[in-house]
Structure 1
Amino acid sequence: MTSPTLPPSTPPIPRTGTWFWRLPILAIAALVAVISLFLWLGLAQEREERRAALVSDSLWMEQNLRYHFESTVDELGQIGNQFGTGGELHTEAAQDKVRELLQGDAGLSAILWLNSDGEMLSTLPASAAPVQVSEEHNLTVVRARTLNRPTYDHPFRLKDGSWAVEVVLPIFGANDFNGYAVGIFSLSRVLEKHVPWWFAERYRISFTDDGSDELASSTQASAANNISFGVSFDRMGGLGIRVESYRDTTRVMPSIVVAVLLAFTVVLIWSLWMLRTRVLRLQDTEAALRAEHAFRLAMEKSTLVGLRARDLSGRISYVNSAFCRMVGWNEDELVGLNAPMPFWFEDSSEPLPASIGEEPARARELRFQHRDGHVLDVLLYEAALIDADGHHSGWMGSVLDITERKRAEALARDQQEQLEATARLVTMGEMASTLAHELNQPLSAIASYSAGCLNALKAGRYDEKQFTDVLGKINHQAQRAGKIIHRIYGFVRRSESRRDRMDVNAAVLEATGLLEAETLRRKVRLQVELAMDLPQIIGDRVMVEQVMVNLLRNGMDAMRGTPEAERLLRVRSESSGEGVRLVVQDQGSGIPAEIADRLFDSFFTTKPEGMGMGLKICRSIAEQHNGRLWFEAAAEGGTLFYLYLPIGTEDKDA
């Protein structure tokens, strides 16, 4: 398992251009246009068919109404011959016929009888109020007499607001002219009585005048349709009819189809737009994913840190190129391997962490063996590997090659030991005159006692008890000289650094003993206060003695300008937390604030003959023991130097 992402060899999906998304929209628009065209053609054909039917039905209706008017006029002519000179009807049959015309389907609202001079003789039905006639009534009467045929006047409005039209019919007897019969047609009644039900369901019919103004209609509702046809009645005073087609309910379906088609088109275009947006977003996401994959792949190949993943059983599931270079095995050879691993050094192993809760961030130092045989030191960090579902699927480790660092640390440690040994030699060199004077005293005493014994032996004067005392003094002085030499040798000899359990008080006494002659020469009083029952620490005794010697000598140097009576150097040991604290206090002038921050810097010194390495080495030794070295100004004057050493744990050989 090298990577869960797409392999770099997978070709990227080409980014779609604008034309790619416009093409289906154009196709949909073309389809909608074609369907709309077919619908429009169908509607146009249907409209023409309906218009043809409207024209045919209108002409039929015109013929029907014309026939009605003509037949009614004929009946008026027949009745007119039966009016007397006084305007009365002679027969009962004539009266019934008039009643039938007025109350039947003829549509007549009134019948007038005029004499030959055009004067009104009678009206039917009889009414006290005068019958309303057209304003051009007299002119129409004259025109009828002139033409000797039925003549229609222009439509006129009655008092009730309805419209009517009158027809004037000249009546001739056997040999002479008898008068006029006038019939007043109610246009609304004519439509009511003579428009068939089937025609009224399909069309709205209305009477019109010459100006196409509507006079009467079969219904007050509008046809709400622009399909209409008008027909004029010849010689009927400009009267005509207009027929309008009602909106056919079947025509609603094409509108619904068009609306649904447009709605689906809008939805489809919207869907395509959303799909385009999503695809573009996916393309952007894929581009970002590929860029991220390329970036991570570049990081993986360029990093110097080895990466390795193991599943829950310890089987290797992933390694990067840095790890492969580190151990000398390629990826195909390592992935899938289980313990023991070919890069383990000798019989070493890598146990899996006990659980996810175990802290894996703590580094472990291991030793790996390269394929070519050389051994390398590595630092391994291992953490739980959590998959995308949040499940613990294994362990992910980062491996650092610290071989060079370990070598550098060993070299630095060796150089530090050399520097410390050199510093001790320098210290002994600085103390050479004092040590020579201290050694000279026991050696002079030994020489004096030996000379006395020789003189006594030569003179033959000797006492066994006296010789025993002298030889004892010689032995004491020899042991005193031997201790001095042993101290010097133990302090300056260079040996392998080793940390063991040690008594801090013993190291302090050894250091003060080494400087005993120095304190006498400089007339410094040394006050040692050692706490009892201190815990033993793990450390290098020689190094601790070296720190104490440096601090004591620095304290004596700090009191050069102090009066002899006040030259007091205090040394004490005390318990402090999980370790031991050593304190060296002098009565000098203190450390100026301007040099306090530089006191532990390399090659910084306040002594004309100093190298500036003493306190730097002392702090390094304290840090090697995981301790601290610091100073503070004493309240009564001078300086306090503190050396804190933790109890620690015993180390293996460095």
Structure 2
Amino acid sequence: MRLSDQPRTSPLVWATPLVGIILFLLAMGAFFYTLHSEDQNQTQLRVIRDVELARQTIRTRLLASQERLNQIARGFEQNSTDVEGFRFSAQALLNEFQEISSILIIDEERRVTNLALPSLRSSEVLHPLYQTIEDAESYWAFNTARETRLPVFSRPFLDPSGKVFIEVHSPIFSKGDFIGTVAATIPLGSLLNDAVPESFVQLYLVSIVDGGGNPVASNVSRSIDNAKLSHEVPLDPPGHGLKLRAVLYKTNTELFSNMLAWAVFGLSLVIVWSFILLFRHAKLRSQAEKRLLAETKFRRAMEDSVVTGMRAIDMQGRITYVNPAFCRMTGYKETELVGMAPPFPYWPDRSYEEQQTNLDLILSGNAPQKGIEVQVRRRDGSVFDARMYVSPLVDSEGQQSGWMTSMTDITEPRRIRDELAAAHRRFVRILEELDAAVCVQGPDAGADEYIFVNRLHREWFGTATPPRMSKNRRNRINLYEPFEWLNPVSQRWYEVRRRSISWVDGATVVMQVATDISSRKEAEEMSRQQQEKLQFTSRLITLGELASSLAHEINQPLAAISNYNMGSVTRLRAGKVSPEDLLPVLEKVNVQAQRAGDVIRRIREFVKQQEPKRGPCPIGKIIEDAISFSRLEAKHQSARIEMNLPNALMSVVADPVLIEQVLMNLIKNGLEAMSHLQPEQKLIEIQVGQSAQFALIEVRDHGVGVPEDIRQRLFESFFTTKSDGMGMGLNICRTIIEYHQGQLWVEPAQGQGSVFKFTLPLAEDSVLAHVNPPVME
């Protein structure tokens, strides 16, 4: 039977119940409308009452905040330097009124000089410390407070983040002059959250609106269109046309206490719920289809975008799927590869057996987890290296339907790995061929635990190794001071340098480089011996130049002794002498013998070759001995030598013989520089002073002086201005003084002549230089 032949149902069958339902719904609608209107009126009255209460609460808090701000201003007027007092009062205000985000002191130039922020909560800083306020509304409130001399609330304004703020400015005066304001920054959102009771917020959407009815702050981010159950009142303070608006979320009317209403409402819900379930089912099905389609597209896009080639084969090895990356890597299209059985066209001709073996390994499920390295031939004939990883392909019923392989091109990583290996071999080769012993150790490794050693380290330190730095010192610095170490086995000297470096794995290790310096140590020892010989030779030369004067000095007491002896012999032969007469003569002979002995002793000590010995010695005694050697030469040239020693007890740390050699050389040079002067003009002055922890000795002559160009080279080796000089005297003198930790230099004297100055460390304050050895474990 066709559909047109079936009996038709009268329209009244479904129209009558429909009309009854419509009439019932209209009656119930009128009933509910009446109850709803009455409930709306009661609710509106409650909204008005609650809004008035909320306004009073906000107004009270604002006025209290204003009064406390005035108190802070008055306190600041009494003592503007009491910053701690301001911060204490401001912090108390911030703790009591948590809607305040910051309290500022602004001077008359509108510059923020003090700032207080809540200590236990975060807040916005609109005006950073020591910057000038630029906001128009803040500027208006600041000027109004200055002009009216009263606290002023600013108009609402936005900060860069979009929040709405108001500020309260209380003026500060000092002796009647305006010096700034105390300002409190109040976010309107925080004001609503802190000033409006929680019970009120649960029932109403509370907001502050401007004169045009636009919300500037609200306790929630969404809006509710319920004008019949809302009310707004002016909010003063802060004024400026701001109003407090409250919109009721929901009402609990007595309508729902009526059981009949509940029953009717329940029946209506059943009908509505049936349609809702049907609609929801259709909607869920539509959404599921959309999600499935989106998931399929996403998976397809993800497979298409990866750079790893994906290939699926069934249990017989036939290709069932390839992604675009696999196609790009091989050069074949998807339609060409899907459905193809082995051998595959991307197998190289010379490796069919190897490729078939790998495929059999995959199909048997014995493919290694680390992957299989294979060669793949592109469509253009080029070959590249690849690594394939295999995992089972399981269908929706949990049955394995094939194998999924992922293929990665490893040509470039393999090239990089080979280059790194070659670079490593070159680096190790360089370290092995270095002429220094190199090793790397962990910071806490033992003496024989190494991360790396080169060939020379194994050869030099096979039986003995340099001492390690202490752990405390290694933790303090990354670069250590080099030190010299004598290998007790090979008896060779090494210079050892250590530093902390970052190893290849990021760990901090210690690298040591040791260099053989035995040849340098031998050269230094030879140089020291040559220097001592040169100093000894210089003393002999000086003594030779004074030989005639020293001979005269010795001949005088010898001649006196001879005369005294001849006179005594003559008187003894004549029998005219008694023991009492002879005793004074013998005493004079003894004095002259001691005089000659002192001259010989000084000569012997001066020329005696021995190791330099520095120790405390009186500087006056050294100068007197040097003058006694030089005085005869001075007399020969009709010159005078004068010494000025203010402190006769001054002692220095020095070798007396070496310092005498320096003084005699300087005195001799001074006498030669005055050879052209008249006898009364020839004068050598020796002055002793003190500079810090050093004794300062000055030797001045009155000769022609030293020109500037010669003065710069005066202490160089083999430089001399004398026709018969060697140019070593002053160089040796400087070497001797520097050995004593002093300095030797020359300056032009006032008037004419030159002044040679040198320093020596004082015995009571000097500290001999030494090299601190490394701290050994």
Interval of TM-score (by shorter of Structure 1 and Structure 2): 0.5 to 0.7
Between 497-506 and 425-434, report the one with greater CA deviation: 497-506
Match of residue 516 from structure 1: 631
Give the alignment partner of residue 302 of structure 1, picking from 433, 442, 446: 433
Q: Which has the higher contact order (CA 8 A, sep 6+)?
A: 1
Give the alignment partner of residue 464 of structure 2, picking from 334, 340, 343: 343
TM-score by length of 1: 0.52
- Distance in structure 2 (CA, Å) of the matches to 1:413 and 1:544: 18
Match of residue 532 from structure 1: 647
Give the alignment partner of residue 629 of structure 1, picking from 736, 740, 744: 744
SS class of match (2:686): strand
* Contact 1:582 1:644 (C-alpha < 8 Å) held by counterparts: yes
Give the alignment partner of residue 352 of structure 1, picking from 470, 484, 488: 470
1:361 maps to 2:492: no
- Distance in structure 2 (CA, Å) of the matches to 1:540 and 1:288: 65
Match of residue 321 from structure 1: 455
1:548 maps to 2:679: no
Share of identical aligned residues, percent? Answer: 31
Per-residue deviation, 1:600: 1.7
Q: What is the 5 A alignment of 1:393-412?
A: 393=509, 395-412=510-527
- Distance in structure 1 (CA, Å) of the matches to 2:573 and 2:446: 91
SS class of match (1:472): helix
Per-residue deviation, 1:553: 0.8
**Aligned residue type for 1:450:** N
* Contact 2:536 2:609 (C-alpha < 8 Å) held by counterparts: yes
Cα–Cα, structure 1 residues 280 and 632, in superposed 2: closer, same or farther, change >3 Å? farther
1:473 maps to 2:588: yes
Greater Rg by CA: 1
**Aligned residue type for 1:343:** A
* Contact 2:327 2:333 (C-alpha < 8 Å) held by counterparts: no
Number of aligned residue pairs: 376
- Give the RMSD, CA atoms, in angstroms: 3.4
1:493 maps to 2:493: no
Q: What is the 5 A alignment of 1:92-131?
A: none
- Distance in structure 2 (CA, Å) of the matches to 1:570 and 1:391: 67
* Contact 2:495 2:515 (C-alpha < 8 Å) held by counterparts: yes
- Distance in structure 1 (CA, Å) of the matches to 2:486 and 2:573: 75
Per-residue deviation, 1:449: 1.0
Per-residue deviation, 1:438: 1.1
Q: What is the 5 A alignment of 1:504-653?
A: 504-532=619-647, 536-646=651-761, 647-649=766-768
Per-residue deviation, 1:29: 4.7
Cα–Cα, structure 1 residues 651 and 357, in superposed 2: closer, same or farther, change >3 Å? closer
* Contact 2:746 2:757 (C-alpha < 8 Å) held by counterparts: yes
Match of residue 441 from structure 1: 556
1:432 maps to 2:543: no
TM-score by length of 2: 0.44
* Contact 2:741 2:769 (C-alpha < 8 Å) held by counterparts: no
Cα–Cα, structure 1 residues 25 and 618, in superposed 2: closer, same or farther, change >3 Å? farther
Per-residue deviation, 1:605: 1.6
Cα–Cα, structure 1 residues 350 and 507, in superposed 2: closer, same or farther, change >3 Å? farther
SS class of match (1:412): helix
User: What are the superposed Cα offsets for residues 50-96 of structure 1, whole Å, 9 maximum, x if unpaired?
Assistant: xxxxxxxxxxxxxxxxxxxxxxxxxxxxxxxxxxxxxxxxxxxxxxx
Per-residue deviation, 1:427: 0.8
SS class of match (2:717): coil
- Distance in structure 1 (CA, Å) of the matches to 2:332 and 2:468: 71
Per-residue deviation, 1:470: 1.3
Structure 2 unaligned segments of length 5 or more: list them: 1-323, 341-385, 387-405, 772-777
1:461 maps to 2:576: yes
Cα–Cα, structure 1 residues 527 and 364, in superposed 2: closer, same or farther, change >3 Å? same
* Contact 2:711 2:746 (C-alpha < 8 Å) held by counterparts: no
- Distance in structure 2 (CA, Å) of the matches to 1:501 and 1:617: 22
Cα–Cα, structure 1 residues 522 and 357, in superposed 2: closer, same or farther, change >3 Å? same
Give the alignment partner of residue 378 of structure 1, picking from 463, 471, 494: 494
Match of residue 156 from structure 1: none
Per-residue deviation, 1:36: 11
- Distance in structure 1 (CA, Å) of the matches to 2:515 and 2:598: 50
**Aligned residue type for 1:299:** I
Per-residue deviation, 1:551: 1.1
* Contact 2:741 2:768 (C-alpha < 8 Å) held by counterparts: no
- Distance in structure 2 (CA, Å) of the matches to 1:294 and 1:535: 67
Cα–Cα, structure 1 residues 292 and 37, in superposed 2: closer, same or farther, change >3 Å? closer
SS class of match (2:476): coil
User: What are the superposed Cα offsets for residues 497-556 of structure 1, whole Å, 9 maximum, x if unpaired?
Assistant: 333333333222221122121111122211112242776444332222211111111111
* Contact 1:535 1:579 (C-alpha < 8 Å) held by counterparts: no
Cα–Cα, structure 1 residues 408 and 455, in superposed 2: closer, same or farther, change >3 Å? same
Match of residue 64 from structure 1: none
Per-residue deviation, 1:586: 0.9
* Contact 1:377 1:406 (C-alpha < 8 Å) held by counterparts: yes
* Contact 1:573 1:580 (C-alpha < 8 Å) held by counterparts: yes
* Contact 1:538 1:650 (C-alpha < 8 Å) held by counterparts: no
Match of residue 483 from structure 1: 598
- Distance in structure 1 (CA, Å) of the matches to 2:495 and 2:643: 46
Q: What is the 5 A alignment of 1:159-238?
A: none
